Structure 1
């Protein structure tokens, strides 16, 4: 029986003597052009966009009335029409009036498409997932058929780095970007039924590294895996040819020959796997001591735990979101026979989110967790979307010497260890004397003998007890230690030896500091820093480069990193304050300030400062304010030059009083700080802000909105200076209590953290004497370099999370005009806190 002609419906609808459309015939192309897609703008009776995918020798076609959208929350109707010939992908012209599809046709976008899964099965079942690589459309997409509607489908952009929430139909009006030169790589059928470009994997891939944070971030798009106690290892596979590389690019192929043989025999495919080599104990936990012993004697015990796949089957997956890479990894592991020393790292139970996931891990006796954002790409270097959380303090340190043993102990007494500072000098960090057994003591002593040196490598030389006999060594050996805490002198307290680190050069060892609060929740957060940048260091600058001027103000150490993610230097921070100054200054003028200074960058120690101890620079003045202990002298700024000067001093955040000079005893604003439980979704914060606004407006006040640069929002109300601090604070507390009474499931006014679970704490304490709130347009000393941004109430959308680094040092200036407009009526909106308002909240007016 002859196969039906798939183009028969196409031919039946057209008179080719009158229309310029190609006649065409089904064909299978052999030239290396890949699977093409095309989107044509079709001005027929109604303007629409024709979406076409090459498959089976024709173009599968859908009419999309409103055109594609890059917003993953927008789904577009796509009506399936007859298959078109491949030549139609090049068609542009006018279909004459009176003929099917009459109107202008123009190519709007074109490129290659890469199916996800079996296309024929997807067409039959009514669901296609695919990647587009065009001039306007990129990334992951889905087409799915509506139930009981054979021709009606929906086209939707999937969440990935190419998605643009809130974009609407903006992409329809943008200019296209050129396609890369040359034809796309031809696709080949992979063993698992997917289509992928037929190319060899790259020779080397730089791994993505985790950023240490002090607690899990908010949001439900994070997954958590066990933090394994082993060595990071990447595997390059090309058929039976296998090579293994450590995280710093050293080849371990010969040293792990047993694992290489296993991977070679399996012939999993072509690509790169990312994971950790480990040795498990009897309880199934990783044992770093056992791993080192196995590497020294019998590496056949070593297992490879795989957690990512940056490249596979001819496709570079590094720009794919994590959830898509994990799907590929699942298919790789479906091929594995039982009993091989290859394991797949699995996310923990999703019932645990936020801080609960770390608490559960620590109760289980785990070392810690690795958290990963499901929508983030794979990026070389430190990433804010790949984080590590530790149950116990751990640190890599460099051995600079050892002491003689005492008593019955053999070989050595304690290791003397250090950490490099930002200038590359090895600073003494203390002694490590516990954690050894007889075997590890002997092994460590043997490792140190070839490194013996006549001089102390630490700067400055540490002060040790007189009776201590010390042997100095060249600072080349890196060891891992566990410890209780850091002392104020920068020494490790209660340090215990874990093992030798052979996968990291000594020169790269820096003090590892947890980023404050939480990691950002937006995968499109800007450029990722290099490993050195994430450690808070930058390349050494020349004497000329160590100074710069901004408005005549000398900037010392301009290339010092203030933020590691994204990479932001001190000079960039100072220039930000110069650029944003005209918008920031009105929020600072005449207000006493509290400053957050980070002299060594946000990865180092940051602290609040109310007084500038040095001579006050131009544009900064001393002001006298009341306090419970009498008059107190603080600072205020009078010009943009003053703002720049404070930034040069290492200031990152500006926090302001709720009163202005010369009446610091009379508040002129009310600030309600909505501080949500970290696990609450953005939509709950939006609802809470709107309810707070309603209450304030019912009282007769005007509410203005701004982000904090953190996880909450500020609602600011301008008031006349008719009442003192105690009355204003009481009023703010009464507002918070009223919200908690009206909606107890949403709000709490209690300070106790146990009362905040699943709710929003309405922090009224910003309204007390001496209390401050972060100023509008101020930077925050947090990952992502976020900025506190004024907002119009209309901008508050539950579908677009505006917290954290949504507004940041890179985009704040562009948003500033709109933000100023949102608060344009601030001064004229001042209201008096009347007796009736006080009584409405149950206060004595």
Structure 2
């Protein structure tokens, strides 16, 4: 490469008469105050990879990243430095023809600005470059560093900041854009995020095959259905159905699409599976394929998740919250609706027992899902797959001629893709197809015949049968006994074709060992062997024996488990009225807040004194949740490892009638306290002008709650619609200050008015409850007169050390709460445009 032309290597490798790539030329270095652009292009060449390019020196410095970027700071990706590219390449999308350098499809995956944190020339010479990305997908601080003696070998790694996502592997590669893709960088200014509409496409979360179930109670299990994964987009007018790889199947499933359209749901996305059931109630993949080949008249759609609903992106919410939204959706459906709900299995089955029970029932297997985990596109350790029988997806790359009385074809020759992008032979599949199936398979494969063997190495096949090689584009699902040492399937039997899965994604599925840490285990509260009885009984509070009293629950300040229990004992007279008769969600931190915390609505062991089970409405009838009845119940929950108490907005014996609205003012983390105060005051004015009373409390976090006491006359859907209308009105009045959209990427310096706390099954932090955050903060009731711009009341302003001292004033501020209950009238609702 000539020193005066950084693009000479780029030009030498390409024939621009045949390739659509821009020829371009090097430009002068921009002014120091001019933002620099970056682009990442998804390049499906001989092997799929991602091209990472940074503008510098009038060209694009470029690296090929085989596995793509990861947001996990513990994962570093190989990045091979390649030739500089022209700046025009930043907007290039198209197909480089076969036989040319880089042949394959190129598409822009992310682009935006990059900000160097070093002297770039010196950093590139030294081999370590720190920088910030401001793109549509990637944000925050990153590092590129050279490895070993080969100067082209670098590593790309996310640095730890608020944009990092530990444990998510390559999930970001499969996620849709958080908003429409950024336009090319022309004006050289920072782009502002646009308001997010209903996504055109949602990429599904996929399960990871593991060798055994986790021993933790943090998981919910569902039946593993043998069908086609489908996501449905509802826009309020029609339903459109998409396969897991983004292909639209609406016309392929006309009857189902019509039935779903008639439900008039949305706007939103539902995630599920289309299946056909046999007489025993098990899914029948053969029958599903036959049904699809004959118009798909009677397929069943089973729904198990809701990634997006009614203007809210729910993918960042834990599974428990998404399931509550799903419950609310199904509660409104008619009995003959064309979709059904996947029901979690009995939660009393934990660990290996749950899989053993499923296999005894003749099921294909189970899908396990972490109750506290978000919805992430791509494979994630938060969804796991457990199989009762060994199955594998394979790519059909050829077939043999039949022998004897067998007709149409002999055996399918199948393979899986290796790590280097080549197809490895995985064996023959000869059984599982009847005569009609053999005939249909040959007709399907004949148009794709080729004279070249697609496998890395041509397999040695017994006998003299003629082999027909085919393009490796068809995916089959097979059942088999085991893998041989040579990597071949033994006793493989054909199950069906997978038209919903791209052939390029088929690799050998190997069960990974489940990774668990102590924080994931259900705590054993039994006394340790050999502990003297006198020692076991000395730490008792309200008659509740406290185990591990010296365990650290908060490290800043240092708070032990016994301190937490004592706080609940002292605050019980104020806390109990907030909890009485209300179903609860518990945030448990068995190993302290520095360990893993998770939400729980049930206690699977015998309920302690002062805690009862309450029946609440659910989509499939009723469910049981925890409810506190006496002060010792609060202490017992603290002994159980509970830190936070979250309450329903309704009470027994009428849990289907709402008696409280909670408007959660959740500001962008950079907003000053003054704007939070103003938001609370404006919310108060709007609600009181409608004729409702308002009460105020801190959340123990960065926001405030405005709480409205109601007479329990209306159901969840009506109250949620009203709360949403309040949030929408606020966002309409001052769109530069407020948003009613859940996604954090949409807040952009605004306050999110969270009305979702008012849906069926949703909860809000209770007044006087601790929060599992640094400083051991407490959610504290306030009088409106205490709200002032001069004193920031967020975070740990009220905490475990001073909450009791403030409790008397807090109780006085809410003294007439019950007396101020109002009926949510038709007039109030119509004033905000809510249809009754």
State the TM-score, normalized to the length of structure 1: 0.40
Rg larger for:
1
State the TM-score, normalized to the length of structure 2: 0.40
